[in-house]
A and B are shown apart, each in its own frame.
Chain A
Amino acid sequence: MTQTTHKKRMLDTKMVPAPSHGIIPERDYYSTPVLEARHLGIEFGGLKAVEDFNLIIGKTEIAGLIGPNGAGKTTVFNLLTKVYQPTMGTVLLNGKDTAGMNTVQANKLGIARTFQNIRLFGNMTVEDNVRIGLHNQVPYGMFTGILRLPGYWKQEKKQHEQALELLSIFGMQDLAGAQAGSLPYGAQRRLEIVRALATHPSLLLLDEPAAGMNPHETEELMRNIIKIRDQFQIAVMLIEHDMNLVMGICEGICVLNYGRIIAKGTADEIQANPVVIEAYLGKKKEG
């Protein structure tokens, strides 16, 4: 369903090739970028946590956001999802300005995320977690629910089917009835991704998706991220410390240090960039 609507959009936007965005993949040149951050920044009581953050992410790009601890990566995610209101700059989602929006509105505009410290609804079942992600996709009102009108049964069935379909991406459909909080760590991270996907985003933000995973699980995750991108035709932006993952799947990488972007480019460019090496080596000396 997402695929067809997306294809239609791709056809509609026959424009001249956009000027070089630096790292935007070629296939996305003809469409409005899914995310455009312009001079984005936030101050916490005089401290500039993020400053002059400029980034464009293409329609189906997999982008990486890396940087040493405390560089402001998660703050960027919080700015993009409107958990924090930026004190400077703007965020455009699919070409729409998000100024003044809250998290809920940003999500409805097509941005979904996972959390660094897992935030599942731990007391609920796996399926219910995904169903909550599907909240805005199967609209029926409170009274339809209480009175069990025909709409309730229809929508619940639809929701159940969609939830299982989403869970099957990670082969988790058999766990649908399990309590989310009791899942192993890796499965919880995967469930968070499924739940975020359920909101039908056009941009999926993953905050350290491979944290706590073993190399085998990480490899599988890499394949799955690409699979998600291909199947849903969405953009993915991820924060990750595992360089194998970042360098392996990210088409564009953005390096953050002390709240500022110090480098942007492809994996090869970033690996060869002396500023980036310095930022990481400098950190190593301290540690």
Chain B
Amino acid sequence: MVSFLRFLINGISLGSVYAIIALGYTMVYGIAKMLNFAHGDIIMVGAYIAFCAMSYLGLPPLVSVLCAMAVCTALGIVIEGLAYKPLRQATKLAVLITAIGVSYFLQNTALLIWSSNPKIFPSVFSVGSLKLFDGNLVITSETVLTIVANIVIMIALTLFTGRTKMGKAMRAVSEDKGAAELMGINVNRTISLTFAIGSALAAIAGVLLCSAYPTLQPTTGSMPGIKAFTAAVFGGIGSIPGAMIGGLLLGIIEILGKAYISTELGDAIVFAVLIIVLLFKPRPRSTTSSPTASPSSPLSPARR
């Protein structure tokens, strides 16, 4: 029973990290309608930046995290502007291959800079840990921090998209790019902003992930990235609370699956969940997939 609780808490902790990554995925997918395959690698970059700031520059953890966020935000905007923006009208195949290219670019650049030797990530916030059931159940401060950070981020994002002008612009763009543009919303800037926010979140996720699993390698981000995408799909892509619930569920499924079914098959279980979810989820919104020329678009009668 205690061991189950331990797995459950580990699952929630891991799931919270997935949730934060999934938030970035879901926002970008919702607005740019593209699968940013490189999102997982931005996590890795964030973790390396924080690692360098702490280990080499001796900066305090909080400042290091802010550094990582700043670098990742800039990185996200640059990637979007250089690699994705020119492909707005291209096929999904082209965009996805480009995103894979970006992912490999980040991984191999990290490999050249930091080498493939794993770095041991220092503990970010070690305030001590909570011991329950005569020390059988240990809840570390990192676990608590991860869960708290997840909740804070989700509330902040919900408020941002619901209350602020920029947030409303983001929602408008995700609904209908053309209409949003006609309403005077700068679509390109809104998409850049989304990448910026998603990448900043990825930096936080990177630090939290490496606090819990302290080996840092150039490939650290790719698997959690794909799993977080699973979480985003699980919760309904484009939905902020959905990403959180999906992330938490996926984290719990992974940890419990590893504990009770098979350690080696942990990833396979997560991917099986992805396949099942994708196959049985309700069809995505089909507003844009009308087989006829869109009669609703105010621009269409003018052509011809």
Contacts and interface: CB of A to CB of B under 8 A. Distances in A.
Q: Do chains A and B touch in the complex (CB under 8 A)?
A: yes
Contacts of A92: none
Contacts of B293: 74, 116-117
B304 A70 contact: no
Given A74-B295, A212-B304, 12 more contacts: A69-B295, A69-B301, A70-B295, A74-B292, A74-B293, A75-B292, A78-B291, A78-B292, A83-B291, A115-B292, A117-B292, A211-B304
A18 B293 CA distance: 38
Q: SS class of chain A's interface: helix, strand, loop or mixed? A: loop
A241 to B, nearest CB: 10
Interface of B: 291-293, 295, 301, 304
A47 to B, nearest CB: 12
Contacts of A78: 291-292
A83 B293 CA distance: 14
A78 B304 CA distance: 22
Contacts of A69: 295, 301
A117 B290 CA distance: 12
A211 B300 CA distance: 14
Contacts of A116: 292-293
B211 to A, nearest CB: 46
Interface of A: 69-70, 74-75, 78, 83, 115-117, 211-212
Nearest to A212: B304
B175 to A, nearest CB: 15
* Most A C-beta atoms less than 10 A away, residue of B295, B301, B304: B295
17 contacts: A69-B295, A69-B301, A70-B295, A74-B292, A74-B293, A74-B295, A75-B292, A78-B291, A78-B292, A83-B291, A115-B292, A116-B292, A116-B293, A117-B292, A117-B293, A211-B304, A212-B304
Contacts, number: 17
A78 B292 CA distance: 9
A116 B293 CA distance: 7
A227 to B, nearest CB: 26
A83 B292 CA distance: 10
Contacts of B295: 69-70, 74
Nearest to B294: A117
A240 to B, nearest CB: 14
A78 to B, nearest CB: 6
A10 B190 CA distance: 64
A212 B291 CA distance: 20
Contacts of B292: 74-75, 78, 115-117
Contacts of A75: 292
A70 B295 CA distance: 7
B183 to A, nearest CB: 22
A189 B291 CA distance: 17
Nearest to A287: B301
Q: Which 8 pairs, one residue from A and one from B, show the smallest C-beta to C-beta distance? A: A117-B293, A74-B292, A83-B291, A116-B293, A70-B295, A212-B304, A116-B292, A78-B291
A178 B291 CA distance: 26
B236 to A, nearest CB: 18
A74 B290 CA distance: 11
B19 to A, nearest CB: 31
B2 to A, nearest CB: 50
A55 B293 CA distance: 24
Nearest to A116: B293
Contacts of A70: 295
Nearest to B286: A44
Contacts of B304: 211-212
A78 B290 CA distance: 10
Nearest to B291: A83
B119 to A, nearest CB: 49
B289 to A, nearest CB: 11
A74 B293 CA distance: 9
A117 B292 CA distance: 7
Contacts of A212: 304
A115 B304 CA distance: 15
A252 B259 CA distance: 72
Nearest to B296: A70
Nearest to B301: A69
A104 B32 CA distance: 33
A2 B66 CA distance: 75
Nearest to A81: B291
A75 B295 CA distance: 11
A274 to B, nearest CB: 26
